[in-house]
Amino acid sequence: MAIEISNLNYVYMAGSPFEKHALQNVNLTISDGEFVGIIGHTGSGKSTLIQHLNGLLKPTSGTICVDGVDITAKGADLKKLRQKVGLVFQYPEHQLFEETVYKDIAYGPKNMGLTQDEIDERVREAMNYVGLTDKYMNRSPFELSGGQKRRVAIAGVLAMRPDVLILDEPAAGLDPSGREEILTQIKALYLARKMTVLFVSHSMEDVARAAGRIIVMNRGTVAMDGKPSEIFSHAKELRSMGLDVPQITQLAASLAERGIPIDNNIYTIERAKATILMLLAQKEKGAK
Amino acid sequence: MLKDITLGQYFPIDSPLHRMDPRTKILSLILLIVAIFLANNPWAYVLAAAFTLLVVALSKVPVSMYFRGLKPIWFVIIFTALLNIFFTPGTKIYLFGYRTPMTWEGLILAGKMALRLVLLIISSSALTYTTSPILLTDGIEKLLKPLAKLGLPTFELAMMMSIAIRFIPTLIEETDKIMKAQKARGADFESGSVLHRVKALAPMLVPLFISAFRRADELAVAMESRCYQGGEHRTRLNEIRFHLIDAFAGLLMLAFFAAVIILRIIL
């Protein structure tokens, strides 16, 4: 399920004083099985971009090919596309509506016209993937915690068995433990289902942990695109876009400034911990 | 479709109409609407249309915006026009089938009604495009003030209205987001039988109502925590005042109204 975006432009409310050029000449290729983090300041166009990928927004100009099929062409099968490219929005409150968690997750497969048995199988599978046990099945989605609501929302999309999963700010607004849980779950899901994952966030920390590739959006254009280590070596440019490198990378940079021979591509706490311990061990050895 | 709802949308530019006192604009709109309904001969219609066009020109809001405001009601206009054309008794000019004669009188009535509807929408849009919601409710409150002596809770009414107007765009935006989230799960709001479509609304309406209640609750808490307790002794940062331009506008409006009445009497 490769996604090819070429010369994508999108203008909001054309011809009014509120006109806004949300996307300008975006060219991207996302290959099968990638875990891509899309990062950018508020209003950088990242949400607009992902809404094009399952046909919710029609580009003002440009084309998008999913799996070799031009989805911007007239008469494109959007229902099928939305099943293949699953999009989970930021707020689960925007999609939960059924009386029970089970029924809510079943909404997507039901719209696909599957049989009762297939729906049941998919709902259970999806709940399993996001770590919701059977006891949640008959609970109302409205009485769950914020993190649990998000899991239900993600399961609701996973139940359609998409090949590409797009998550818009899946961890925003959660407390640290809820955030931790959901991010771990997404990474586990990626490894288990081997799906292409696009992860939108404004938090460098969250993106740095999971993504193998980072796309930085700024004012409707792709400002940077590369491996996390490449992106984070441009701290100054990132700051000029209202973004920042992860705190732990900053720490490593200030350690390096003080003459400590630390790696310059540290962007997770685990790695920082291992490197610092190694440096300390070396120092001890040298002292002996 | 949702983007087409322009009623209650403010268009923030500077124009003579924007600078007028909201009270002048509200009273003028009422007079204009009455005049449009009083018009009963072709000259009065021409005059009303010309006056509305003058208002549109003075507002400096692009004409395309006015057309956009008309979009959601084209269906109503065409539907009533068709009813009028075929179901008004009179001189038959063309026969479709054998029971629905098209009549000359019907054609004229349809034209009049369509023009009235279009003028009504355009003139009301001119008010909302040129007046920010806050000024609008301030104006309404001031105009209703005399009724407070009769026990009408004018302040509360104005507050309710400004809150309602304030939340129209928010709720539209929210609806849009919810529709997208459900479409991403394969929801289909646009096809199928009527029953199917009504059923398809539940996944949209439930989250919308829940969020509206939540917002209302949060707003109430936010207002109370800032000691809000209604109209007594509450003052404004920007008091609305009449200016010279309001006098001109008022005179022009009265002249127009008088002209329509005179045309009604003499023709």
Q: Which of A49, A88, A94 to mutate to test the interface with B (most CBs of B within 10 A)?
A: A94
What's the pLDDT at B153?
84
Q: In this predicted model, what pLDDT tens digit does every residue of A56-105 receive, in sequence order?
A: 888 999 999 988 888 888 888 888 888 899 999 988 988 898 999 999 99
Q: Residue A65 pairs with which residues in a beta bridge?
A: A4, A70
Does residue A28 form part of some domain?
no
Instruction: State the virtual CA torsion across A167, A173, A175, A181 in degrees, nearest 10.
Output: -10
Q: Which of B110, B181, B144, B229 is nearest to A87 (CA)?
A: B181
Q: Which residues of B touch A86 (CB under 8 A)?
A: 184
User: Is residue A258 situated within a structural domain?
Assistant: yes
At residue B1, the pLDDT reads 42
**Would you call A91 and B185 a contact, using CB atoms and an 8 Å cutoff?**
no
Helix axes B22-38, B244-266, angle to 10 degrees: 10
Q: What is the mean pLDDT of chain A?
A: 87
Encoding tokens for residue A244? Answer: 């920042």
Q: What is the residue-wise DSSP string for A82-142?
A: HHHEEEE-S-GGGT--SSSHHHHHHHHHHHTT--HHHHHHHHHHHHHHTT--GGGTTS-GG
Set of chain B residues whose Cβ sits within 8 Å of the Cβ of A53: none
- Using CB atoms, which residue from B181, B186, B187 is nearest to A94? B181
User: Can you give the length of chain B in residues?
Assistant: 267
DSSP B4: G
The residue among B2, B185, B191, B206 with the most chain A CBs within 10 A of its CB, best to mutate, is B185
pLDDT digits (tens, 9 = 90+) for A109-164: 998 889 999 999 999 999 988 888 889 989 999 999 888 899 999 999 999 999 99
* Each residue's pLDDT expressed in tens, for chain B with a length of 267 residues: 455 555 557 888 899 999 999 999 999 999 999 999 888 888 889 999 999 999 999 999 888 888 887 887 888 888 888 888 877 777 777 766 666 677 888 888 888 889 999 999 999 989 989 998 788 888 888 888 888 888 888 888 888 888 887 788 788 889 999 999 999 998 887 777 788 888 888 899 999 999 999 999 999 999 999 988 776 677 777 778 888 999 999 999 999 999 999 988 887
Give me the helix-helix angle, B104-130 and B63-70, nearest 10°.
120
In a domain, A259, yes or no: yes
- How many domains does the structure of chain A reveal? 1
Residues A111, B187: C-beta atoms closer than 8 Å: yes
Compute the C-alpha angle A119/A124/A127, nearest 5°.
120
Q: Residue A79: closest CA among chain B residues belongs to which residue?
A: B186
Give the distance from residue B217's alpha carbon to the nearest chain A alpha carbon, in angstroms.
16
Region of poorest pLDDT, from A42-46, A47-51, A113-117:
A42-46
Does A256 map to a domain? yes
Contact of B239 with B135, CB cutoff 8 Å: no
Three-state SS for A16? Answer: coil
CA distance to partner chain B, nearest, from residue A161 (Å): 11
Torsion from C-alpha of A110, A116, A122, A123, nearest 10 degrees? 80
Q: What is the 3-state secondary structure (H, E, C) of A258-287?
A: CCCCCCCCCCCHHHHHHHHHHHHHHHHHHH
What ipTM, to 2 d.p.? 0.83
- Residues B262, B247: Cα–Cα separation, whole Å: 22
Q: How many CB pairs under 8 A join A and B?
A: 68
- Tell me chain B's radius of gyration from C-alpha atoms: 23
In chain B, what residues touch A150 (CB-CB under 8 Å)?
none
Residue A275 lies in a domain: yes
> What is the residue type of B67?
F
Residue A54 lies in a domain: no
Range of the domain at A261: 246-288
Q: Residue A142 domain-assigned?
A: no
Q: How many CB atoms lie within 10 A of CB A74?
A: 5
Question: Could you tell me if residue A184 is inside a domain?
Answer: no
Rg (CA), chain A: 21
Residue closest to A156 by CA, chosen among A102, A116, A208: A102
Complete edge-to-edge strand list for the sheet that includes strand A85-88: A85-88, A164-168, A196-201, A35-40, A213-218, A221-226
